[in-house]
Structure 1
Amino acid sequence: MTQEATDRREDVLRFVERFALVMRQSGIPPMPARVLAFALADDADRYTAADLQEALGVSAAAVSGAVRFLVQARLLRRDREPGTRSDLYVVDDADLWSPIFAGEVEQLGVWADVVAEGVEAVGADTPGGRRLRESQEFFAYMRGELPRLLEGWRAHREAHRHEW
């Protein structure tokens, strides 16, 4: 490996650790955060578990748990090439983030419904009831607005992706 390639690899790994830390602060577990940050920053678009293990210098068990989390969260997709025995983990860079947030629309409705039950349980005229009612309104509002925002993102992406 040339010195330039070595320096670039070190820069990628430094970025991986910085971005993983930010994701961890948002609630993503440490190893899935590291794997996702690496998959986003590295030039390849598909990885075997062994590729990830070697690149990050971690155990097979750590990678296994991380990719399971990321596949369930729809941040990576599991694939397989014909004639191979290893799963491949793919970054779907056709539009990585909007499908994830689109899945939150339904979840926001569930949260709004459950919080509405809380309003009834504690009473709308209590401090807790007022906080729950505002939470219910927030979730309902976000549920209504998120599809519009995602459509705007898709239009923006289509108009500008040639610039990236």
Structure 2
Amino acid sequence: MQDVSEAVERLGQTMERVGLPRMPARVFAFLVADDRPTNTASELASGLGVSPAAISGAVRYLCDTHLVVRERNPTGRGDIFRIRDEDVWATIQTTRLLVIDLVIESVQEAITLLPRGSAGRGRVEDARDYFRFVQEDAHGLDMRWREWRDAHRS
């Protein structure tokens, strides 16, 4: 169990570095690393050594960001929590594509406000083109990921 706890802390710290708040990052890491497919709030609190109140806010954040699903516990009172799907990293990437769509839309609006041929407009057009490139490349990423994963799993 000590190895799992250390793995959860390391993964949680990484998720925190990439933008998740501390407690949601730890809860998410626990859900990913734990062998059980679902956990109750009590199990999460016990596994992380924190209060149930800390779990409540963290799972609300994770559900709102679509990383975790809340379901009614079929064997008793309360809810159970699980990661959205087994391929959670591809799900995260897909969610980020929606952000890229918003960036492209916003940058395009800014372009229309700038004078044609100006240096500023050229730099903003470069930003738009970069995000379009990333967007186009990312659409094939999911398929390439699954092929790579299948070829490299032992």
Q: TM-score category by the smaller chain?
A: 0.7 to 0.9
Residue 77 of structure 2 aligns to a residue in which SS?
A: coil
Q: Tell me, what secondary structure is at the counterpart of 1:19?
A: helix
Question: SS of the residue aligned with 2:60?
Answer: helix
- Match of residue 4 from structure 1: none
Bigger shift: residues 46-55 or 95-104: 95-104
Cα pair 2:66 2:84 within 8 Å, conserved: no
Task: Look up the match of 1:42.
Answer: 34
Contact 1:73 1:100 in 2 (8 A): no
Residues paired across the two proteins, number:
154
Runs of 4+ in 1 over 6 A off after TM superposition: none
Secondary structure at 2:140 match in 1: helix
Aligned counterpart, 1:137: 129
**Residue 21 of structure 1 pairs with residue 10 of structure 2:** no
Residue 113 of structure 2 is aligned to residue 156 of structure 1: no
Separation of aligned partners in 1, 2:35 and 2:137:
34
Aligned to 1:120: 112
In the other structure, the counterpart of 1:89 is 81
Amino acid corresponding to residue 16 of structure 1 in structure 2: V
SS of corresponding position for 2:78: coil
Q: Give the 3 Å change call, closer, same or farther, for CA 30–99 of structure 1 in structure 2.
A: same
Gaps of 5+ in 1: 1-8
CA distance in structure 2 between the aligned counterparts of 1:59 and 1:91, rounded to whole angstroms: 21
Could you tell me how far apart the structure 2 residues matched to 1:31 and 1:124 are? Answer: 47
Moved more, 15-24 or 116-125: 116-125
Alpha-carbon distance, 1:129 to partner: 3.2
Aligned partners of 2:60 and 2:121: how far apart in 1? 38
Partners in 2 of 1:59 and 1:128 — Cα distance? 51
Cα distance in 2 between the residues matched to 1:128 and 1:30: 38
Q: TM-score normalised to the size of structure 1? A: 0.80
Q: TM-score normalised to the size of structure 2? A: 0.85
CA distance in 2, matches of 1:155, 1:35: 29
Amino acid at match of 2:123: R
Over the matched positions of the two proteins, sequence identity in percent amounts to 36
Separation in structure 2 between the aligned mates of residue 10 and residue 77 of structure 1, nearest angstrom: 26
Deviates more, 1:120-129 or 1:33-42: 120-129
Pairwise CA distance, 1:148: 0.5
**What is the RMSD computed on CA atoms of the aligned residues?**
2.1
